[in-house]
Structure 1
Amino acid sequence: MLQSIVNKYNIAGPRYTSYPTVPYWNLESFSLNKWKSSLITSFQESNSKEGISLYIHLPFCESLCTFCGCNKRITKQHNVESPYINAVLKEWNLYLNLFDEKPIIKELHLGGGTPTFFSPENLKQLIDGIFNHATRAKSHEFSFEGHPNNTTREHLQVLYDVGFRRVSYGVQDYNETVQKAIHRIQPFENVKRATELAREIGYTSVGHDIIFGLPFQTLEHVKETIIKTKELQPDRLAFYSYAHVPWIKGNGQRGFNDADLPSPKLKRAQYEIGKQLLAEVGYHEIGMDHFAITTDSLFESMESGNLHRNFMGYTASKTQVMIGLGVSSISDSWYGFSQNVKDIESYYDLLKSDIIPVYRGHILNEEDLVIRRHILNLMCRFKTAWSEDDLYFESLPDVLLQLKEMESDTLLQINSNTIELSEKGRPFVRNVCMAFDLLLQRKQPNRQLFSMTI
């Protein structure tokens, strides 16, 4: 029965780090001036109340991981570090010119690429430069993505000294055959060393990223990876479904064939066994793809109803404003989105001309804002609600009609003014969100844009 449900709902769909999703942004009505205006409005509404979030994209990697769909530049030349950091700080200063008070930074995340490609000294220069004209929120959460092979004690200490308390390490899978296929060789000993170093220095949350559905990955491989992970007891885990999107230009997902990937049936079994093993040792499922122990801030935020989701994934608290710095970064003012150019040379050229390097975006209308809240509720709490004067929208009856079949399959329950997913239905939350996605419903894509939902 479960397998027939998986087959039925395993379709291409968004991961809903935003609504509208990027392919449905209205580019024609977007402009840089509209983006600035929406950001200024939102900053004035929220900075003193909750602070803002910063995401900084550091795109350089020394080698290509063939499972990765992120924007990156492969190089072993470390002389690229200083020019890039100077450019990011120039972009930050252009944003600072828009604000009438110092930003209060509540969340800061360094992503990539490989942030630990950069030297500890250059990372310190970057963070110090950010806080020359900003302040840290009292309950801030600063985090970075570390590569277990090159994250040194110096990296961890320097970032700890400037306020970082959370690090996540990309593990993916410990099996050598899988690692060779995805071009990511990292022994368990390297992950153990990096994890223990972080704890020794004082990091309060160490996370591991594990992926199922990778090429040549078997059910036994996932079991072995989870068992080894339990030895290190990370505070939180991202247990992701591999997103196979080789049609995205330049993402490197051409190092293996579709036939090398696990079947949907095997992929689902990998998730179920992983979830079972994690539950046995005290990990709780958080939203979609995430697990945490009870002392981690992600679990605490879920329990208190403060779990949030944005382009950084799940976060322990909400900020209305998220500014993305660096190539390809996406910013969110709540009322609008913008994305930076993806090419480093274009990024530098625009900054030389004192132009915020945005190349596309979307300004949300009233309908977008209502749908966004429903999708955020579903992704963070597996339920949503409405009344005649709050979150009701004209197309809601059609949405509920679409969801009737999922209700018949006992994946969710529809009440007079609420929807709540069942335990069985939680893995299908993306499918539920797709019913609310009016832009997707009105214009189905004529080619595959998204990864499979299961």
Structure 2
Amino acid sequence: MDYNKKIKVFWCLKMSNVLIQKYNVPGPRYTSYPTVPYWQEDTFSLEAWQQTLRQSFIESNASEGISLYIHLPFCESLCTFCGCHKKVTKRHEVEAPYIAAVLKEWSLYCELLEEKPIIREIHLGGGTPTFFSVTHLQQLIHGILDRAYVAEQHEFSFEGHPNSTSREHLQALYELGFRRVSFGVQDYSLKVQKAIHRIQPFENVANVTQWAREIGYDSISHDLVFGLPFQELQDVLFTIDQTNRLLPDRLAFYSYAHVPWIKGNGQRGFKDHDVPKDDEKRKLYEAGKQKLLDHGYIEIGMDHFALKTDPMYQSFLQGKLHRNFMGYTASKTQVMIGLGVSAISDSWYSFAQNEKVLEDYYARLENNEIPVFRGHVLTSEDLMIRQHILNLMCQFETSWDDPKHSFKELPQVLQQLEEMQQDDLLEIAEKDMRVTEQGKAFVRNVCMAFDLRMKRKIPDNQIFSMTI
């Protein structure tokens, strides 16, 4: 490397460290706006949720269809990095009553909506969806589809644990219409796997990836995580090199959210000082990102990468990428119904979350009640800010050229963002703004400037993970 290049690299690293120190603050990941801690539950009711859902369904079912997120919460062991709602058990007799409960919940929604929904998306998340037997997963999907139509351009996907996903799982779900699967990899370093209680040999991931390809899945995704306990730069680079041997169609490269004060003992299997922080953690991301780009992946939204052949890349180019409680999706539906314990639904005009305790979820269904226990009805201001944040998270840009997209606090928001523009993280024009390549790492901070609810009420305690 010549002298000028060395100077440039040194300057970039120094600038990166300065920016990290400036912008690394607690902040939401914006799978919704308002974020859950700012939901106004005093104005929410089950009746309000049902009313907005029916309204949105009538508006959009024929043109867009709906999405279903089905939460399957059971895991045989606890992964200590995980922030999801799960229930750890080795007793597989829990499967049948849970499937029956989810199908009852679905029947209550179908009765509420009155006409048959057109399903565009189904996503099975967890927990560990492949904890369930092939027979029970078939029973679940058949029970869902018996009461609905399937859109021509549909996307059915599921999360598979490489240690518990069999070829039979993959074949059965493929025959039910599933064409995308996401495998949780996290990291291939044994010391990191031991720390997060997720021992998972490369051979297991290679097997399920190869099976999915042979069966005919269109899109195979791997989830990687940076910032895990004991994780070093060599671990991240090794993991990505191993991943490149399998060449999944898309990748999620998530930042580990270390929030043990929220998640409790699940994230206390290691000390706080064992977790990479600040510039050390950012180096893991920057080096990993560069290696992904070198391997032909394109950065799509926040934390996501795809090959040019993957539908998500095409959706990004066409401006159709969407983000909701399922994460990024290649198409938008106005209605997303969450089924299962703790699942969150979105009617576009309101959010609703199911009971988080399994026994409470069962009890509500036994009383023939949709098991929603909290939510939020969006105001006109919420809807406007939500769209700006979606634009930024999905396209790295937003505009206010139409008066309907402007709001009275916009001048203050733009003034707050001037410093980020001076740091070359943003380009702000008269009627629009764009996040620069360097600024993509700080997109959560950009969105926070638009978050009017957070501005009006700063949390008393740290309830969000760090943005970087």
Q: Which category of TM-score, normalised to the shorter sequence, fits these structures?
A: over 0.9
Q: Does 1:337 align with 2:351?
A: yes
Match of 1:375 among 389, 412, 416: 389
User: Superposed, which structure 2 residues align to 1:427-442 within 5 Å?
Assistant: 427-442=441-456
CA positional deviation for 1:399: 0.6
Match of 1:74 among 85, 88, 91: 88
CA positional deviation for 1:325: 0.2
User: Superposed, which structure 2 residues align to 1:25-424 within 5 Å?
Assistant: 25-250=39-264, 252-387=266-401, 389-424=403-438
The 8 Å contact of residues 284 and 291 in structure 1, kept in 2 or not, is answered as yes
| Aligned AA (1:22) | V
The 8 Å contact of residues 253 and 303 in structure 2, kept in 1 or not, is answered as yes
Question: Corresponding residue for 1:8?
Answer: 22
Q: Per the alignment, in what secondary structure is the counterpart of residue 403 of structure 1?
A: helix
Distance in 2 between residues matched to 1:437 and 1:19, nearest whole Å = 8
CA positional deviation for 1:251: 6.5
Distance in 1 between residues matched to 2:190 and 2:397, nearest whole Å = 40
1:233-282, Cα deviation, whole Å (9 max, x unpaired): 00000000001111224561111111000121111111111111111111
Q: Per the alignment, in what secondary structure is the counterpart of residue 351 of structure 2?
A: strand
CA positional deviation for 1:300: 0.7
Question: C-alpha root-mean-square deviation of aligned residues, in Å?
Answer: 0.8
Distance in 1 between residues matched to 2:290 and 2:406, nearest whole Å = 37
CA positional deviation for 1:390: 2.2
CA positional deviation for 1:99: 1.2
Q: Per the alignment, in what secondary structure is the counterpart of residue 434 of structure 1?
A: helix
Distance in 2 between residues matched to 1:388 and 1:347, nearest whole Å = 44
Q: Which runs of 5+ in 1 are unaligned?
A: none
Q: Per the alignment, in what secondary structure is the counterpart of residue 112 of structure 2?
A: coil
1:31-53, Cα deviation, whole Å (9 max, x unpaired): 00000000000000000001000
CA positional deviation for 1:196: 0.3
| Aligned AA (2:169) | H
| Aligned AA (1:253) | Q
TM-score (norm 1): 0.99
Of 382-391 and 182-191, deviating more is: 382-391
1:87-116, Cα deviation, whole Å (9 max, x unpaired): 000000110011132111101000000000
The 8 Å contact of residues 70 and 251 in structure 1, kept in 2 or not, is answered as no
Distance in 2 between residues matched to 1:352 and 1:311, nearest whole Å = 26
Paired residues in the alignment total 454
Q: Which runs of 5+ in 2 are unaligned?
A: 1-14
TM-score (norm 2): 0.96
Distance in 2 between residues matched to 1:388 and 1:201, nearest whole Å = 48
Identity of aligned residues (%): 65
- Which is richer in helix? 2
The 8 Å contact of residues 71 and 127 in structure 2, kept in 1 or not, is answered as yes
| Aligned AA (2:110) | L
Distance in 1 between residues matched to 2:76 and 2:181, nearest whole Å = 20
The 8 Å contact of residues 335 and 348 in structure 2, kept in 1 or not, is answered as yes
Q: Per the alignment, in what secondary structure is the counterpart of residue 405 of structure 2?
A: coil
Q: Per the alignment, in what secondary structure is the counterpart of residue 390 of structure 1?
A: helix
Q: Which runs of 4+ in 1 moved over 6 A?
A: none
The 8 Å contact of residues 83 and 263 in structure 2, kept in 1 or not, is answered as no
Distance in 1 between residues matched to 2:428 and 2:280, nearest whole Å = 31
Question: Corresponding residue for 2:5?
Answer: none
Question: Corresponding residue for 1:443?
Answer: 457
The 8 Å contact of residues 45 and 375 in structure 2, kept in 1 or not, is answered as yes
CA positional deviation for 1:313: 0.4
Q: Per the alignment, in what secondary structure is the counterpart of residue 115 of structure 2?
A: coil
Q: Per the alignment, in what secondary structure is the counterpart of residue 113 of structure 2?
A: coil
CA positional deviation for 1:388: 5.2
Distance in 2 between residues matched to 1:69 and 1:271, nearest whole Å = 20
Distance in 1 between residues matched to 2:314 and 2:434, nearest whole Å = 21
Distance in 1 between residues matched to 2:279 and 2:408, nearest whole Å = 38
The 8 Å contact of residues 399 and 435 in structure 1, kept in 2 or not, is answered as yes
Question: Corresponding residue for 2:440?
Answer: 426
Q: Per the alignment, in what secondary structure is the counterpart of residue 345 of structure 2?
A: strand
